Structure formats: structure tokens, C-alpha cells
Amino acid sequence: MPTFKATGICLIVRKYRGTERIATFFTRERGKVEAVAKGVGKPGSSLAAVVEPLALSRLFFAEGRNLDRLTQAQVVNSGPGRQLVLRLTHRYAALRLCLIRGRAHCPHH
């Protein structure tokens, strides 16, 4: 079974069978990769932190026919991704409020 490694960000995680999850990663090397992460639902799983949305990780995969399989991984950085999304969300909300508030005072509308 061919293997490959990549650096990527976890985008989405869905439940699969039992303690397995299907995780979608965006990687530098291969773009979007969907892979089964076995045992992630078990307490103390070493892959649990890797399949958290927006976690940046070094990933090791085994290629499969339909889905790849996440075999090993190491979190590189889990903080800045979440903080960045939070900041962008707050800025977007502030922008929307300014646009809505600004419309009420526009003489042309």
C-alpha cells in the first residue's frame, strides 16, 4: 500500500464507523485529502488533536482505493488557526454592522 506524507490543515471531521472518523484536510502537497482516522473516538487517541478543525499538522497517509487512511500525525500548531478565524469572524461581524448602520444614514437610499 503506497504511503505519502503532507503538511495540512484539518477542515471537516465526520463520524464514520464506531470510533473512526473521516477527516478532510487541505495540504500543500496534494490539495484536498479525505482520509479515515481509526480510533479517534477512543479516549486517549494520539490522532484526536490532529483531526480538530483548523489544526495544522504533519500527516502520514496510506493510499486507499476510495479513501486514504491517516496512519500517523503530529500537530505543528493548533492555536493560530483558531485565533485567526475568531478574529476574522469578529471583523466580519463589525463590518456587517457598519454596513447595515451606514445604510440607514445614506441620503441616496
Whole-number mean pLDDT of the chain? 85
pLDDT (average), residues 49-75: 92
pLDDT (average), residues 50-57: 88
For residue 50, the tally of other CB atoms under 10 A from its CB is 26
| Whether pLDDT at 107 is above 60 | no
pLDDT (average), residues 54-81: 88
The answer as to CATH 2.40.50.140 being correct for domain 3-77 is: yes
CA distances from 18 to 14, 37, 38, 99 (A): 11, 11, 9, 46
In 3D space, the residue among 1, 23, 7 whose CA is nearest the CA of residue 58 turns out to be: 7
Residue with the larger pLDDT of the pair 96 and 15: 15
pLDDT (average), residues 20-46: 92
69 close to 36: Cβ distance less than 8 angstroms: yes
Residue with the larger pLDDT of the pair 54 and 49: 49
Q: All 3 cell numbers of residue 105?
A: 444614514
pTM, 2 dp: 0.71
